[in-house]
Amino acid sequence: MYKILIADDEQAIREGFAEYARFLGYDVETAEDGMEAVQKSREQDFDIIVLDIMMPRMDGFTACKEIRRSSKVPILMLSARGEEYDKLFGFELGVDDYVTKPFSVKEVIARIQAICSRAKQEADAESTAHEVYSDDGLEIDMTARTVICDGSKAELTPKEYELLFFLVRNRNIALSRETLLSKVWGYDFYGDDRTVDTHIKTLRMRLGRHKEHIVTLRGVGYRFE
């Protein structure tokens, strides 16, 4: 079972989450603030880290940035704010998913299972045959997890890589937002169409002139062509 680090300055949230997760068989560590979360992430290996944004000493965004300096561990962010700006900023830092308070512990666990399962699949895929897509200055190496745009390396977040790779592997096929949520994020019921749209928006920014490869299908979803 997965090992989780939950960081939140609200004791009731930490204890409630930890109690339920341990009941399900998870190995859980807790932290009262971002600074403690960063320290524990350096001392132990976790399958996923859950960070609250508003914490004393070091907020969740800063903690995420520090963790990302040395680790690609999946990160799920908790927040009392649901503005698109906050989500975009979190995704820019490499957050894998975002849950707005108040939330159900069962929902967070479902998202954790989906994220960890997807991360394992990606790790397994990296050990298979080398996959590269190349066209007109755009080179997408799905095995090495690199994207080169006209000779320059594009820096993508973990979820942006997964989304782009899925689009490329299914190029010229119309993909609904629901399909992308299910296949890239790994869940159906808890998905939000805006999550897909937000990631597509940032992904296009990373690709520069090659953003035209990702076509919007009004009322349906997207297609890589």
- Quick: pLDDT tens for 142-170: 888 899 999 999 999 888 999 999 999 99
The ranges assigned to domains in the chain are 3-124, 129-224
Is the domain defined by 129-224 classed in CATH 1.10.10.10?
A: yes
- Quick: pLDDT tens for 53-105: 989 889 999 999 999 888 889 999 888 766 677 777 878 888 888 888 778 88
Question: Which pLDDT score is estimated for 49?
Answer: 94
Query: Residue 114: CB partners within 8 Å, gap ≥ 6?
Result: 185, 186, 187
Q: Which CATH class is domain 3-124?
A: alpha beta
- pLDDT beyond 60 at 188: no
Continuous H helices in 75-209: 84-93, 105-126, 158-169, 177-180, 193-207
Calculate the alpha carbon distances from 196 to 37, 61, 164, 182 in Å.
28, 21, 11, 11
Calculate the alpha carbon distances from 101 to 10, 14, 53 in Å.
12, 14, 11
pTM of this prediction exceeds 0.85: no
